[in-house]
């Protein structure tokens, strides 16, 4: 069991977001739900919270009202094995009104920020050869959706 579970605060569309995210990530499932009761008669019977897993990672959704909005200060990081994985998660998370940002970042249609990045690129940034790592970083800084082949070419000095 995870000791820390991120809770995502939505106004009233948490259940819709839960279905959206579950359709994207494999091995997703809802583990618990709580409906509004008499404490909020106007929402009675609708979803208050849901605990769910996206590919084994536990999250909670709260339909808490309009008081808070998401911002990029906290983002979801999706480490990818291949360019095909980057393309899949990038395209799916943008569906329905998401916005690409920069350097592998995007904001989905609910306002949640995501970073979609190939693991190999992260390893390039950590390379002991500072010149190679810098070339890879400079290539990445010019991108919106990350292209592993282009970053690899820069890393290799081509």
Fold equal for 1-69 and 70-158: yes
DSSP state string for 42-93: GGTTSEEEEEEEETTEEEEEEE--TT----TTSEEEEEESSHHHHHHHHHHH
Whether the CB-CB separation of 59 and 11 falls below 8 Å is answered with no
Phi and psi at residue 13, to the nearest 5°: -105, 25
Distance CA 120, CA 71 (A): 27
Q: Indicate the domain borders of the chain.
A: 1-69, 70-158
CATH number of 70-158: 3.10.180.10
Domain 1-69 sits in CATH at: 3.10.180.10
**pTM for the whole structure:** 0.93
Q: What is the pLDDT along the chain (158 residues), one digit of tens a residue?
A: 689 999 999 999 999 999 999 999 999 999 999 999 998 898 999 999 999 999 999 999 999 999 999 999 999 999 999 999 999 999 999 999 999 999 999 999 999 999 999 999 999 999 999 999 999 999 999 999 999 999 999 999 99
């Amino acid at each position: 069991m995870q000791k820390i579970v991120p809770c995502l605060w939505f106004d009233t569309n948490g259940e819709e977001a839960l279905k959206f995210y579950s359709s994207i990530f494999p091995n997703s499932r809802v583990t618990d739900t709580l409906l509004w009761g008499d404490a909020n008669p106007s929402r009675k019977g609708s979803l208050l919270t849901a605990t769910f897993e996206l590919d084994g990672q536990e999250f909670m959704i709260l339909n808490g009202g309009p008081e808070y909005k998401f911002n990029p200060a906290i983002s979801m990081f999706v480490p990818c094995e291949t360019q095909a994985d980057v393309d899949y998660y990038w395209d799916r998370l943008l569906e329905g009104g998401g916005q690409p940002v920069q350097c592998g970042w995007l904001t989905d249609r609910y306002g949640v920020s995501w970073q979609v990045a190939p693991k190999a690129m992260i390893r390039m940034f950590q390379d002991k050869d500072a010149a190679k790592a810098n070339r890879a970083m400079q290539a990445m800084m010019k991108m919106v959706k990350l292209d592993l082949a282009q970053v690899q070419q820069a890393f290799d000095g081509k």
